[in-house]
Structure 1
Amino acid sequence: MAPIALIGLRSLSIVIPAIPSTLYSILAGALFGLGTGILYIAIADFLACMLNFYLAKRFGRRLVQRMVGQRFMYKVDTLSSKYLENNIFLTSGFLMTGLFDFVAYAVGLTQMKWQNFTLALILGITVSTPPVVALGAGILEQGRWLLGLALLGMFALAMLTGWLNRRRES
């Protein structure tokens, strides 16, 4: 029962971005240990972000605005129009931040295909979930450093992708 409750609460906190979600990752590590905690959080994140993406694709901007609120809609607009549509690695990098719930909605408003979003999401979850769950499991005292390094690596890959795309177009 506890795993289902954790997955449900974490998913709800992603679909409704006003609810903080990081606590659930730490809690998963504390309750279930590193490996099982990562699995539960990865399942919740995958399902909820795919739902956010689907809702944005299917119902558009009006529903997204209702879900994230008028106040946060500028974040969604900025992310979707300027950065995410053509760069899987940058999308992955943004999915590793505390704004990943907004990012999933934002990408849903772009022309990005679900296959590309799924790849970016899996990459983002794979890199960002273990350090936070490890904090809860008590394994990684400096988990923020590992997360920071992972984010820097993803942004470096995103920049490389952009540079290669520009070079190819020239």
Structure 2
Amino acid sequence: MQLFSSKSILNKFRVNILKLILVVIILIGLLCVINLIGVEDIKGNIESLGLLAPLAIFILRFTSVIIPALPSTAYSLLAGGIFGFKQGIVIICLSDLFSCSISFFISRYYGREIAKKLIGNRFMDKVEKISRKHLENNFFLMTGFLMTGLFDFVSYAIGLTKTPWRKFAPALIISILLSNPPVVALGAGLLQGSKVILVIALFCIFLLALISSKLRRTNAL
């Protein structure tokens, strides 16, 4: 029994290391592209699009939350890198607020079957596993889960419980305001070349990763 437990811990550790390596590769690739094209050229092309550019990032992020199989973190980096921290954080936070709320209400009013069609059988198992954790009884635990990379699944999962919207909304807002700024700041730091912003953003992301890892380990997710 102990052997299986050790193997499980080792496998999770390997997965986390691979994820970290993937993030580093993506960041290096992004830096290479930025240096190749040029910061001013990128900003000039984006500004020429007007409102279409922020709207596109909003929609992409929104869709990636409603359909959790799609990647979402990349859009936070893009928002910060393209629009700067202030505008980027507004776009991402608003997108998350609307998309997570809709995910909650899809589960609440249309039930498991509609949610399953949107996210698939494989991810529905994850949603149901989270919904059985009785997050509705612990506001801080619910907020903590919404701060992790599982926030899209958590929104669907909480909708399947009896948690009222008035309890879910504050937890969602707090989680959005705490978890989004570091990633958007990282994107802004990459494009602006600010070492201070990069260091602070990476430190905050590291703390969020520790919280996420602790929650998953404690609740066996």
* TM-score between both structures, scaled by the size of structure 2: 0.66
Match of 1:141 among 199, 211, 219: 199
Letter in 2 for 1:74: D
1:96–1:151: 8 Å Cα contact kept in structure 2?
A: no
- C-alpha distance in structure 2 between counterparts of 1:74 and 1:144, whole Å: 32
Residue in 2 that maps onto 1:102: 153
Letter in 2 for 1:65: K
- C-alpha distance in structure 1 between counterparts of 2:84 and 2:200, whole Å: 17
Q: How does 1:38-57 map to 2 (within 5 A)?
A: 38-57=89-108
Match of 1:31 among 54, 59, 82: 82
Residue in 2 that maps onto 1:163: none
Residue in 2 that maps onto 1:116: 167
2:149–2:212: 8 Å Cα contact kept in structure 1?
A: no
Q: 1:21-78, CA deviations, whole angstroms, 9 ceiling, x for partnerless residues?
A: 0000000000111111111100000000000001000100111111221112221111
- C-alpha distance in structure 1 between counterparts of 2:202 and 2:123, whole Å: 25
- C-alpha distance in structure 1 between counterparts of 2:172 and 2:69, whole Å: 21
Segment drifting more, 16-25 vs 77-86: 77-86
Q: How many pairs does the alignment contain?
A: 156
Shift of 1:142: 5.2
Shift of 1:147: 3.0
Higher relative contact order (CA 8 A, sep 6+): 1
Residue in 1 that maps onto 2:140: 89
Segment drifting more, 80-89 vs 16-25: 80-89
- Find the structure with the greater CA-based Rg: 2
Residue in 1 that maps onto 2:60: 9
Percent identity, please: 49
Change in Cα spacing, 1:13 to 1:130, as seen in structure 2 (3 Å) is same
- Structure 2: gaps of 5 or more residues: 1-51, 190-196, 215-221
1:93–1:155: 8 Å Cα contact kept in structure 2?
A: no
Q: State the SS of the aligned residue for 1:11.
A: helix
- C-alpha distance in structure 2 between counterparts of 1:66 and 1:144, whole Å: 36
Runs of 4+ in 1 over 6 A off after TM superposition: 153-156
